[in-house]
Structures are given as C-alpha cells and as structure tokens.
Amino acid sequence: MLLKKINGFVPKYGKNCFFAENSTIIGDVILGNNCSVWFQTVIRGDVNSIRIGDRVNIQDGAIIHCTYKRACTKIGNDVSIGHNAIVHGCTLEDNVLIGMGSIIMDDCIIGSNSIIASGCVLPKGTKVQSGTVYAGVPGKKIKSIDSRLQKQEIERIARNYITYSSWFK
C-alpha cells in the first residue's frame, strides 16, 4: 500500500484493516475499523476530505475522490463499493452496495439500504431514497428493496469481504 502525505494530511485508519500492496491512499482520508482496500484501488483525498466508516470494502480498481473546495466524500458503515466503480464528491449512507463499474458523481446522496446496480451512472446531485435499487444511464429507480434482498446482497457482500480480507493478512 502507498500511503502518501499531501498538504499536511496523512491518511489515518482504524483497527483490523486490509490494504492490498498496490492500493493508494492519499491525503485527508480517514477509514474506520475492519475496512478493506483492494488491488489497484485509489482513495485520493488531495483536494478535499474523504471519510469512510467501519466495515467498508473498496474493491479492485475503484476510485474514491472529491472536488476541490466543493464536494467532500462521505461513506457510511457496511458499504461495499464494487470493482472499477468511481465514487466522487458524494455521500453513501450505511448499508449501501455500489455495483461494479458504477459512477456516482458530486453531490449525490445514496440513502441507507440501497443498491446501485452495476454500470449505473448517477449524475451530479441525484438523491437516492433509502431502500431502493437504481440502475441505468442515467440511473433511475427500478424497485424498492425487501428485507430478503437486503440480507442476501447488501449485508452478505459486506460480511464476505471481512472474511476475504482475513485471507490476506
């Protein structure tokens, strides 16, 4: 892992985290406990702050960034960010699943217990209601989430990545 100080900010992280050897974390970034940052992931807090809760997995090739003086990035607890997703200057509340290759732009707010489908693009300022699934380009609500889907997808994936990361420690 490359931890890089910039403009006086050194990334900080909690207990029991896993960082792949070629992941990069820069600047004003704080991660909670039991997080995993996978191969070729970049978390770049060079122009604004990035705050990441507990039990968050940021999968291979994902990019987490923000916008200078305008949009920080906030990620809640128990969030899974899929391979090659881009999360930029937005808020992801607790228990969110961001599908592979999705793009979440500035000022978006993703409510708790929501799924953003693979390949979905959410334009600047999109508000995703808690407990919904969004898909498409641009992203639109396609359905509400029932408790089965929440347990079988959102919670299962977050839990599994804690297990997967233990294999690498």
pLDDT, tens digit (0-9, with 9 covering 90-100), for 62-92: 999 999 999 999 999 999 999 999 999 999 9
Predicted pLDDT of residue 147: 83
The answer to whether 45 touches 24, Cβ cutoff 8 Å, is no
Of 79, 80, 92, residue with least CA distance to 127: 92
The answer to whether 27 touches 7, Cβ cutoff 8 Å, is yes
As beta bridge partners, residue 74 has 51, 91
Q: Which CATH number fits domain 2-166: 3.30.420.10, 1.10.10.60, 2.160.10.10, 3.10.129.10?
A: 2.160.10.10
Token reading at 3: 């931890």
pLDDT, tens digit (0-9, with 9 covering 90-100), for 5-16: 999 999 999 999
Domain range summary for the chain, segments of one domain joined by +? 2-166
Alpha helices in 10-104 (DSSP H): none
pLDDT, tens digit (0-9, with 9 covering 90-100), for 21-45: 999 999 999 999 999 999 999 999 9
Radius of gyration of the chain (CA): 15
Mean pLDDT rounded to a whole number for the chain? 97
